[in-house]
Structure 1
Amino acid sequence: MILRSNRNSSWLLKTDRLTILSIVIFLFMGLIIIQLINLQIFQHGKYKDMAELQHLSEKELIPDRGGIYIHDYQAGENILYPAAINKKFYLVYAVPTQIKNINAVVKILAPVLEMDEEALYQRLAKEDDIYEPLKRKLEEEKKIEIEALGLEGIRFEEEVYRYYPEKNIGAQVVGFVGYSGDDLVGRYGAEGYWQEELAGERGSFVFERDAFGRLIPVAKRTKAAQRNGADLVLTLDRSIQFTACRSLEATVLKYGADNGTVIIMDPKTGAILSMCDYPSFDLNEYNKVEDIAIYNNSAIFEPYEPGSVIKGIAMAAALDVGGVTPATTYEDTGTVEIAGYTIHNSDGEAHGIKNMTQVLEESLNTGAIYAAQTVGTEMFYNYMLRFGFGQPTGIQLDTEKIGDIANISYKKEIFMATASFGQGFTATPLQVLNAFAAIANKGKLMKPYIIDEVRHPDGKVEKTQPQFLRQIILEKTANTLGAMLASVVKYGHADKAAVEGYYIAGKTGTAQAVDPGTGRYSADITNHTFVGFAPVDNPAFVMLIKLDRPRNVEWAASSAAPLFGEIAQFLLNYLEIPPSY
């Protein structure tokens, strides 16, 4: 009995084990079936895509960057000259494993590449090296010269770089292309402001590969075409730009100034004909500059206290409200007391009875204050706004600043007084130029622009149309002030800006600058400005000259004014404007 019971228990135990094993096998098979269903039905698309990707390759299509061009009217009416283009260069490299006589190659190649012989030898002597770059950005002529040498193991790769044919002429206006991470992007000037339009849009090309990675000719391909960048045509005139920039360079060097700026504009349209900075830099070697501040365009980036040129603006407001006429007189005692402050003439002298034209001719601070007081603080501030101070011009170049007229906005008499002769507030050279352009243009303020056309790759051309902003002063006021400013050049401090046979209107400005060491104005540190237009009766151009901290010359009448006269002489001849008398 006991033996039978043990046999029964053993049989039952085996049965339970078989049952459990069957259940486990069933569950395992069930999981496999579920997974197969999941893979075959629910995730079929995913794994199909993954499989296809193993045979697909994608190539990024890089668009051609648009060019930047300037007008070359001397060469022809519709002739454009490249200021920024994409140019083919070459990388010369060596395959050291293919060079048998290293010494011979070094002796021949080193002088051609302008390389040190020892340095070149070290590169060519690397064992098992199949690729050793030697020099980039070789011109086509240099490549041909090296190829003619028939050197073993010397090869070339084509490369495309941004190239700037004008080098340092107008560098701050054009800007350059540099790296941001792994991407090339525009920096400063037109290159920076118009980055999106110039760069275009990248495309892609997806194609199938075989097991060896080769393109399958008949396989399905998809392509999203790239869009090449647009070309920009600037309003700059190449002949005017070259002459203005070279003349500025000579003057800056002559007087040892820290910096110089020239801007020339058509007052009737707002088109910029020239915009120069000195010191400048070669755009093709922008990374070799010692101070990156040189990249900034002083015409729009560096607000400053413009000095006595603003007497012309103060006088415009006074004439416009009827506060004065050219013949209005006052007694110049040499000083004016306002709110406990004593303001002197720049020469420290009293000049007696003077009329408003003489105030401009002799650049009297007391007379500018007298004229401003007839306007009043509220209206004076409004006129400054109407002339465009404290606001962007919208020139469409990178890094434009707006200056600071906060003091004038307080509408205190002392701030109006100092502003009437160009101190206590800041403006960019372009803002000052544009204000005088309105005077030249019968009181009409135009929006300055430097982009003449945007030429899209599909053939569409966007032409900039001159934009009238507002009538600042009456036409009568503008004509009267123009005659007064012409008297400044003919009889006053600005006689060195004169051009024989032409009526030139203009005003000098010599402004004390702040000494960075003391934080106070210094009579020894000044900025010199001259702004004017010609001919007075029908102005073809308005021009501003600015010199930062010139040495060995006291007044703008002796530094900026002569430069104006020199460039004006060229312009009047170049534009074929007949003499006025």
Structure 2
Amino acid sequence: MITRILNFARAKNFAFRCIAIGVVLALVAAVCLAQLAATQLINGQQTALAATQSRTLSVPLSAKRGRVLDANGTVLAQSVDRYTIVANPEAAQDFVPITCTGENDDECHEIDGEPVGVKGAAAVARLLASVLDMNAMELGASLSVDGQYVVLKKDVTPQVKRSIEDLNLGGIVWGELSDERVYADDNLYGALLGGVDAEGVGVSGIELMENELLTGTDGKKVYQQGNGGEEIPGTVTESTEAVDGSDVTLTIDSDVQWYVKKVLREAQEKYGSDWGIAVVQRVSDAQIVALADSDEISAGSDDAKLGTSRAVSEVFEPGSIGKVISLAGYLQTGQHKISDQFEVPDSYTLDGQTYKDSFTHGTEHWTLAGILEQSSNVGMILAAENYTDEQRYEYLTKFGIGQDSGLGLPGESSGLLASASSWDTRTRNTVLFGQGYATNALQLTNAIATIANKGVKQQQSIIKSVTDADGKTTETTTSDATRVVDEQVAADVLNAMESVSEHYSSFVKVDGYRMAAKSGTAEVVGSDGTISSVISDYSVIIPADNPQYVVTVVLKDPQGSYGGLTAGPVAADICAFLMQKYEVPVSSAREDAIPVNW
């Protein structure tokens, strides 16, 4: 009996335990079922969204910066394909390298035939270090941060990007297309082209001046990526194509620019000048064919980014070239005719101020044309007896002195021309022969080109055309031209300038071509703060009988000083090259010379 009772109790306890276990299992199953229901019915969308977001990548599509070309289509500046190497730090921290077995080379990892030895961000850093030529510890630090996007290195070549792809780090490290700015013949244009900053934005020169046109519009692509970093087909949710920047074509001819740069360097060595500047301008359309200086600055360099082209920024007193403007003013205001006769001593005192010519001579009988031919300061003052201060200022400004050239080149100086009311008794007369004001080579060239263009001043240009990303080319147009002096006045001044050229013909000439020119020499303030430096310049119109080009050369402190003796031969050298390159017909014989003596 007792045995039966004990057996019943044991059976009852077993049954109770089975029921208890069943209840517990039922409760667990109920909880799991409830969790599954919650996951599927309540949190399903959030979970799926989170999974999608973890796979979704927004990749910027970089627009390429437009090119800068010369007038012949030669590329001067362009952006070449480069890559920005980026990584997913979170994926890098979970990385476990796969040991190479000889049968899994397409997915394994090793360094110089040896296992990586570590895992996580350190392993990724070790694999990348030699390929990117970077310190492994620094790379490891960059990969140990929070987030899914970090830039490791910019401006990587396509070859390096392909080497990274061979490391089997898909989904962890990849390359995004970018570009690098490179320049052809970098010393030829130097600071005139300028450069861009680390973000590809123009900061100087033409790169800055035309930055808006050269800069494209970046795009974007949003898609889901697989475990290997590849795009999952059909998952693109947003795609905006990048629009490249426009190409900008200059008016400058690189052949001429090269030759001008060459002769400036030779002149600097020959005459021992501190620097040289030259401008070549076409008469018909005022386009700048060459704009060069003797400085050795590479486009895109720090010097180019921080500085400006000397040919643009340097200002100086033009000296006797300024007499061309005064002569044109005398004729246009009816003060004189070009054949008017003067008795000219070598010195003259007016209002307590004494003025001298550059050479000693007796009282000469010169016409107004002869005064220009002999470059007489005294003669210019004698001819200005009734030429008011207001008229002196008016014609300087009409010819562009002290006025912005309108080219828009960064760093260009407008020069210095004080108002007539501020002139003292000496300055009012020195402005007649190119002293007492400052100009730059572009202004001076366009003033002479106004005479070459029959008295009409045109807007200079250095941008020939712009071609957008769709290939549409728009030619650059300039503002309306302005008549400064009558055609006959311009012709008379040109005639007198040709006599000046003949005056220097023994050492400044181009065989077969007539030239109209004016030299200048001005004493200016030197580095010691005293009047100890000299500017020598020379502007020439060629051919004189059918003006095609104006060439201006400016030298600082050349040995030999006088513009006609130093800058003149340099200008003639450039002119000879122009005549040959552009196959300009030779000149007819001169038969209309205005008398210079009486």
TM-score, length basis structure 2 = 0.73
1:191 aligned partner: 207
Amino acid at match of 1:404: L
> Which residues of 2 match residues 347-358 of structure 1 at below 5 A?
347=359, 351-358=363-370
1:395 aligned partner: 407
Can you list the C-alpha shifts for 1:522-572, whole angstroms capped at 9, x where unaligned? 2xx10111001111122110111011222x222111110001111111111
Identity score, percent: 26
1:575 aligned partner: 582
Amino acid at match of 1:316: A
2:513 aligned partner: 502
2:461 aligned partner: 449
Among 258, 266, 276, which residue is 2:274 paired with?
A: 258
> Which residues of 2 match residues 81-480 of structure 1 at below 5 A?
81-88=74-81, 98-99=111-112, 128=126, 130-132=128-130, 133-134=132-133, 160-179=179-198, 183-208=199-224, 215-219=231-235, 221-283=237-299, 286-287=301-302, 289=303, 295-347=307-359, 351-408=363-420, 410=422, 413-480=425-492
Report how far residue 367 of structure 1 moved.
Answer: 1.6
Structure 1: tracts of 5 or more residues without a match:
1-46, 73-79, 102-126, 148-155
Instruction: Please state whether the residue corresponding to 1:431 is helix, strand or coil.
Output: helix
Can you list the C-alpha shifts for 1:97-138, whole angstroms capped at 9, x where unaligned? 72369xxxxxxxxxxxxxxxxxxxxxxxxx946413449999
Instruction: Please state whether the residue corresponding to 1:347 is helix, strand or coil.
Output: coil
Can you list the C-alpha shifts for 1:326-361, whole angstroms capped at 9, x where unaligned? 332333332333443322223365553332222222
Q: Indicate conservation of the 8 Å contact 2:62/2:178, yes or no.
A: no
* 2-structure distance, mates of 1:434, 1:349: 33
Can you list the C-alpha shifts for 1:434-492, whole angstroms capped at 9, x where unaligned? 011000000000000011100011233210135432100010000011010000011x2
1:110 aligned partner: none
* 2-structure distance, mates of 1:219, 1:566: 66
1:137 to 1:349, Cα distance in 2 relative to 1, 3 A: farther
* 2-structure distance, mates of 1:212, 1:569: 65
> Which residues of 2 match residues 508-519 of structure 1 at below 5 A?
508-517=519-528, 519=529
* 1-structure distance, mates of 2:470, 2:279: 34
1:546 aligned partner: 554
Structure 2: tracts of 5 or more residues without a match:
1-46, 86-108, 115-124, 135-153, 164-173, 590-598
* 1-structure distance, mates of 2:501, 2:48: 83
* Larger CA deviation: 393-402 vs 211-220: 211-220
* 2-structure distance, mates of 1:334, 1:272: 39
Q: Indicate conservation of the 8 Å contact 1:493/1:508, yes or no.
A: no
Q: Indicate conservation of the 8 Å contact 1:71/1:81, yes or no.
A: yes
1:358 to 1:89, Cα distance in 2 relative to 1, 3 A: same
Can you list the C-alpha shifts for 1:193-228, whole angstroms capped at 9, x where unaligned? 001110112222233468998755333511233221
* 1-structure distance, mates of 2:422, 2:505: 33
* 2-structure distance, mates of 1:383, 1:570: 33
Instruction: Please state whether the residue corresponding to 1:533 is helix, strand or coil.
Output: strand
Amino acid at match of 2:539: V
User: What value does the CA root-mean-square deviation take over the aligned residues?
Assistant: 3.5
Amino acid at match of 1:99: D
Q: Indicate conservation of the 8 Å contact 1:70/1:82, yes or no.
A: yes
* 2-structure distance, mates of 1:255, 1:129: 59
Can you list the C-alpha shifts for 1:383-406, whole angstroms capped at 9, x where unaligned? 111111121111132222211101
Amino acid at match of 1:283: A
Amino acid at match of 2:111: Q
Can you list the C-alpha shifts for 1:50-93, whole angstroms capped at 9, x where unaligned? 99866654222210110011133xxxxxxx1111112347999x
Amino acid at match of 1:399: G
Instruction: Please state whether the residue corresponding to 2:327 is helix, strand or coil.
Output: helix
Q: Indicate conservation of the 8 Å contact 2:181/2:200, yes or no.
A: no
Q: Indicate conservation of the 8 Å contact 1:63/1:201, yes or no.
A: yes
Report how far residue 269 of structure 1 moved.
Answer: 0.7
1:558 to 1:346, Cα distance in 2 relative to 1, 3 A: same
Instruction: Please state whether the residue corresponding to 1:430 is helix, strand or coil.
Output: helix
* 1-structure distance, mates of 2:510, 2:273: 25
2:531 aligned partner: 521
Q: Of the two, which has the highest radius of gyration?
A: 2
Q: Indicate conservation of the 8 Å contact 2:381/2:432, yes or no.
A: yes
Can you list the C-alpha shifts for 1:495-540, whole angstroms capped at 9, x where unaligned? 53322222100001111110232x3322xx1011100111112211
* 1-structure distance, mates of 2:305, 2:351: 43
1:53 to 1:496, Cα distance in 2 relative to 1, 3 A: farther
1:504 to 1:212, Cα distance in 2 relative to 1, 3 A: closer
* 2-structure distance, mates of 1:187, 1:235: 21
* 1-structure distance, mates of 2:363, 2:247: 57
Amino acid at match of 2:512: G
Q: Indicate conservation of the 8 Å contact 2:247/2:468, yes or no.
A: yes
Aligned length: 479
* 2-structure distance, mates of 1:232, 1:326: 45
Report how far residue 159 of structure 1 moved.
Answer: 7.3
Q: Indicate conservation of the 8 Å contact 1:270/1:449, yes or no.
A: yes
Instruction: Please state whether the residue corresponding to 1:236 is helix, strand or coil.
Output: coil
1:75 aligned partner: none
Amino acid at match of 1:533: I
* 1-structure distance, mates of 2:455, 2:110: 75
> Which residues of 2 match residues 549-560 of structure 1 at below 5 A?
549-550=557-558, 552-560=559-567
Instruction: Please state whether the residue corresponding to 1:170 is helix, strand or coil.
Output: helix
Q: Indicate conservation of the 8 Å contact 1:488/1:495, yes or no.
A: no
2:572 aligned partner: 565
Q: Indicate conservation of the 8 Å contact 1:336/1:343, yes or no.
A: yes
